[in-house]
């Protein structure tokens, strides 16, 4: 793991107004999220649907503006990228790979059309005579033959389309790729190849990856660090083997109990099944409705991340108080 910081969020928050014009209801999609990504590092952002993972990715991609908080890239706040040139440069350095790769391709044109346009827009210094060679190079890096450039998107398999998505991102010479559930629509037998590709991009191309997933098993296979999200907040984070071998937060334990992995620790936490409350949430832990370990403090005070082991943080009153020192709250 590198010690050089590439991207950092500080108290990142994104809210959405819901309901009619006169409604005051607010959806707290992301609340007070702070984390960092280093150079040549794969960070997995994991959690169930609605936890805020994709919202964070879209804020980092500048699709959404943060309600509050700040994002820093290479030490520079994102709010400073104001001109079109700065915005285009940032988009080149931090591209996004989507869950459905077919949606990012024009089905009317051959595959090479999209990647050549990307090279023309994001790398204007590259002569037109060299663009096709560069397209062939990045296709080779992601494990595709040059013949794929002449095919139409509908002629490619799901795994090949996703590799094209990574090739398009790589063509921009990125520093960080935002990969939003890139393997969730693929067969299990194909996923391993894409996970190996992300590791290859990190090790050989020096590209960092924010890997957004609900699959803890795939995160364990490829990531250096794990950030567990719940109801718009970080529940736990740290080196992935530390988090998965000694999970501190009951929600992380719950996630692990559902993983078909014989190496994963068994959880003593049972799911009460209550959905997270993210519309105008009251103070307190948002997981308390599902947590059998909740104490009275959990209903009154919102927990904050605290270091419970070197580099391993959790936002849990019970974990911070210590097992056996608390009274169960019903």
pLDDT digits (tens, 9 = 90+) for 150-188: 999 999 988 899 999 999 999 999 999 999 988 877 777
Q: Which residue has the tokens 């002449």?
A: 150
pLDDT of residue 43: 97
Three-state SS sequence of 283-329? CCCCCCCCCCCCCHHHHCCCCCCEEEECCEEECCHHHHHCCCCCCCC
Residue position matching structure tokens 């999970």 = 247
Domain assignment present for 160: no
The per-residue pLDDT for 1 is 44
Domain of residue 249 covers 5-95+174-321
DSSP 227-289: EEEETTEEEEEEEHHHHHHS--SHHHHHHHHTS--TTSPPP-PPP--PPP--BSPPSS-TTTT
Whether 306 is covered by a domain: the verdict is yes
pLDDT of residue 233: 96
Mean pLDDT, residues 37-66 taken together: 94
Is there a domain that residue 108 lies in?
Answer: no
pLDDT band at 189 (very low <50, low <70, confident <90, very high): confident
In a domain? residue 234: yes
- Of 205-214, 269-278, 318-327, the range with the highest mean pLDDT is 205-214
The sign of the torsion formed by the CA atoms of 44, 47, 48, 53 equals: negative
Q: What is the pLDDT of residue 196?
A: 93
**Residue 220 within any structural domain of the chain:** yes
Return the CATH number at 225. Answer: 3.40.50.300
Beta-bridged to residue 239, according to DSSP, are 225
DSSP SS3 for 203:
helix
pTM over 0.75: yes
pLDDT tens digits, one per residue of 63-114: 999 999 999 999 999 988 888 888 899 999 999 998 887 777 888 999 999 9
Write out pLDDT tens, residues 122-152.
999 999 999 999 999 999 999 999 999 999 9
User: CA geometry: angle at 164 spanning 159 and 168, to 5°?
Assistant: 150
The phi and psi torsions of 274 (rounded to 5 degrees) equal -75, 130
Residue 128, in any domain of the structure: no
The DSSP secondary structure of 83-126, one letter per residue, reads SHHHHHHHHHHS-EE-S-GGGGS-TTS-HHHHHHHHHHHH-TTS
In this prediction, residue 326 carries a pLDDT of 35
How much of the chain exceeds pLDDT 90, in percent? 68
CA distance 125 to 176: 21
pLDDT tens, residue by residue, 230-263? 999 999 999 999 999 999 999 999 888 876 554 4
Averaged pLDDT for residues 321-329? 46
Q: What is the DSSP letter of 207?
A: -
The label of the residue with tokens 């969730």 reads 184
298 in a structural domain:
yes
Kindly list the distances between the CA atom of residue 324 and the CA atoms of 38, 233, 250, in Å, as whole numbers in the listed order.
Answer: 37, 26, 15
Cβ–Cβ under 8 Å, residues 220 and 199:
no
How far, CA to CA in Å, does 177 sit from each of 41, 183, 215, 262?
Answer: 11, 14, 18, 31
Give the dihedral of Cα atoms 36, 42, 48, 49; nearest 10 deg: 90
Q: Is residue 71, in this structure, part of any structural domain at all?
A: yes
Number of domains into which the chain is organized: 1
CB 240 within 8 A of CB 223: yes
**Confidence at residue 321, expressed as pLDDT on a 0 to 100 scale:** 86
């Amino acid at each position: 793991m590198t010690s050089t910081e590439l991207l950092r969020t500080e108290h990142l928050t994104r809210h959405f107004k819901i309901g009619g014009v006169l409604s005051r209801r607010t959806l707290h999609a992301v609340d007070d999220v702070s984390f960092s990504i280093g150079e040549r590092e794969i960070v997995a952002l994991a959690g169930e649907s609605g936890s805020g993972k994709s919202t964070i990715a879209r804020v980092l991609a500048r699709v959404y503006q943060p309600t509050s908080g700040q994002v820093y890239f290479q030490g520079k706040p994102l709010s400073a990228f104001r001109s079109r040139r700065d915005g285009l440069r940032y988009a080149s350095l931090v591209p996004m790979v989507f869950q459905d790769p077919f949606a990012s391709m024009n089905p009317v044109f051959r595959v090479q059309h999209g990647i050549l346009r990307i090279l023309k827009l994001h790398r204007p210094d590259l002569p037109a005579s060299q663009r096709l060679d560069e397209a062939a190079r990045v296709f080779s890096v992601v494990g595709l033959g040059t013949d794929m450039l002449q095919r139409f998107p509908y002629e490619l398999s799901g795994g090949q389309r996703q590799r094209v998505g990574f090739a398009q991102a790589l063509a921009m010479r990125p520093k960080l790729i935002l990969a939003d559930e890139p393997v969730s629509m693929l067969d299990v037998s194909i996923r391993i190849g894409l996970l190996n590709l992300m590791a290859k991009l990190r090790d050989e191309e020096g590209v960092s990856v924010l890997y957004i997933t609900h699959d803890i098993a795939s995160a364990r296979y490829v990531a250096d660090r794990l950030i567990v999200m719940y109801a718009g907040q970080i529940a736990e984070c740290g080196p992935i083997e530390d988090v998965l071998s000694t999970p501190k937060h009951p929600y992380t334990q719950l996630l692990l109990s559902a993983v078909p992995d014989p190496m994963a620790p068994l959880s003593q936490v049972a799911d009460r099944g209550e959905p997270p409350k993210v519309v105008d949430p009251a103070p307190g832990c948002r997981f308390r409705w599902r947590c059998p370990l909740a104490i009275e403090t959990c209903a009154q005070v919102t927990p904050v991340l605290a270091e419970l082991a070197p580099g391993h943080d959790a936002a849990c009153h019970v974990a911070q108080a210590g097992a056996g020192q608390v009274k169960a709250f019903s």
